[in-house]
Amino acid sequence: MSEKPCFYDVLGSSRDASAEELRKAYKKEALKHHPDRNAGNADAEARFKSINEAYSVLSDEQKREVYDQYGHAGLEGGAGGAGMGDVISHMQDLFNEMFSGGFGGGRRKQGNGAARGGDLQIQSRLTLREAAFGCKRDITLKSPVPCDDCSGSGAAAGSKPEACTMCKGSGQVATARGFVMFSSTCPTCHGQGVLIKNPCAGCKGRGAVEKARKVQVSFPAGVDRGQRLRVTGQGLPGARGGPNGDLYVDIDVEDHEIFERDGADLAVNVKISYALAVVGGSVPVPVLAADRDDATSQVEIPAGTQPGAVIPMRGQGLPRLDGRGRGTLAVVVQVEVPTTVSDRVRELLAELEHELQGGAVSKDTADESGPNDASAADSSERAVG
């Protein structure tokens, strides 16, 4: 019969390795040689058995001390080797980490059954001004809160929850079928990890009661539709004194009757007269202010401004979330053309048209006067002759 390999060599670890280093070495080797990853490989199966046996000894302080002093001989007679309970415990830890996406990635209940509470999600609608300059709102939530009578433990005064002896506080039980582990919710504690023999009368052992509560949410200046805020610790209460979950606030912003928003920029339509578009001038333009609805600012209209022209007013948009100033207000010019005019306006427009054409005589006028002038010249010549 071949001699058993050194348990430290099996795990690829040194004799002075700490308990955490041994644990990491075990997980690395166990994942590498697990039968599910090496289907039909007899060597991997044997190696996997040896890894579990080695770790079951070295993870126990007393067994490790005996092994370090006397080797395998010191463990003969039943002191060494991986018992079924140890194998199941190690395998359960391994499977939890395999399916939680990595070492330490899963959320586990503590030994007293404590677990983090769930998250809440709500939607809050802001006006454009509130979104632009920020605001604080009291939001009413109706959700479970820790019971005052038992401080969230679920147990009556003078008592406390006890760890479930079936699952040893994990909330899960595992059974081995060959080299495949099956995990299921503990039937004794129903996944809580603890048993409450004397439940609190106020919450009937649940550790929480439903109440309406107010949460103040601070909306930063410049928030936009579709963004989400997280309010830490304002979600559902944790079980058995565990930490609360978080509150997520999805933001919606009302459309404004004057301004259109594009990120930190705004756009506003401004109507000007035809005469102002031609000669230019200054006009008041609506701007978004934190304290009033009718705030305006003057903008210069250049002479010859065309309909649809855009005049940027930098720094008159919305504050940026990163604090880097404000966006731009785009003033979109719309030239008003009157649909009805008086006779006097017609005369003035005719004069304006004449001036814009440089005062030139129209072609029709020239055609009418041309022949008459020629006839007069001919008559004059005949008179002289």
- Angle of the 19-33 helix axis to the 42-58 helix axis, nearest 10: 160
Q: What is the dihedral of CA 307, 312, 316, 320, to 10 degrees?
A: 120
- pLDDT for the residue 383: 38
- pLDDT for the residue 88: 46
- pLDDT for the residue 28: 86
Highest mean pLDDT of the ranges 122-131, 165-174, 375-384: 122-131
pLDDT, one tens digit per residue, over 201-254 is 888 887 878 888 899 999 999 999 999 999 998 988 776 667 888 999 999 999
Secondary structure class of 114 (helix, strand, coil): coil
Helix, strand and coil in the chain, % to nearest 5: 30, 30, 40
- CA 155 to CA 377: how far, in whole Å? 126
**Residue 85 pLDDT greater than 50, yes or no:** no
Lowest-pLDDT choice from 11-25, 33-47, 133-147, 368-382: 368-382
CA-based torsion, 123, 124, 128, 130: positive or negative: negative
- pLDDT for the residue 267: 96
368 vs 22, residue with greater confidence: 22
160 vs 250, residue with greater confidence: 250
Structure tokens at 102: 């990595």
Question: What is the radius of gyration, based on Cα positions, of the chain?
Answer: 42
Highest mean pLDDT of the ranges 68-77, 100-109, 264-273: 264-273
Edge-first strand order for the sheet with 260-262 is: 260-262, 265-273, 326-336, 310-319
Split at pLDDT 50, 70, 90, the class of 178 is: low
Amino acid identity, position 29: E
Amino acid identity, position 45: E
- pLDDT for the residue 326: 93
- Of 196, 88, 213, 207, whose CA–CA distance to 139 is shortest? 213
- CA 381 to CA 236: how far, in whole Å? 114
Split at pLDDT 50, 70, 90, the class of 114 is: low
Split at pLDDT 50, 70, 90, the class of 181 is: low
- pLDDT for the residue 142: 82
- Of 286, 221, 291, 282, whose CA–CA distance to 258 is shortest? 286
- pLDDT for the residue 235: 86
**Residue 108 pLDDT greater than 70, yes or no:** no
146 vs 273, residue with greater confidence: 273
Q: Are 71 and 7 in contact (CB under 8 A)?
A: no
- pLDDT for the residue 164: 87
Split at pLDDT 50, 70, 90, the class of 158 is: confident
Split at pLDDT 50, 70, 90, the class of 141 is: confident
Lowest-pLDDT choice from 65-69, 125-129, 218-222, 370-374: 370-374
Split at pLDDT 50, 70, 90, the class of 303 is: very high
- pLDDT for the residue 40: 78
Return the H-helix or E-strand segment holding 228.
strand 228-231
- pLDDT for the residue 160: 84
pLDDT, one tens digit per residue, over 24-62 is 888 888 888 877 777 778 888 888 888 888 888 888 888
Q: Tell me the pLDDT of the chain averaged across its residues.
A: 80
**Residue 370 pLDDT greater than 90, yes or no:** no
- pLDDT for the residue 154: 84
Split at pLDDT 50, 70, 90, the class of 190 is: confident
What is the mean predicted confidence (pLDDT) over 158-170? 83
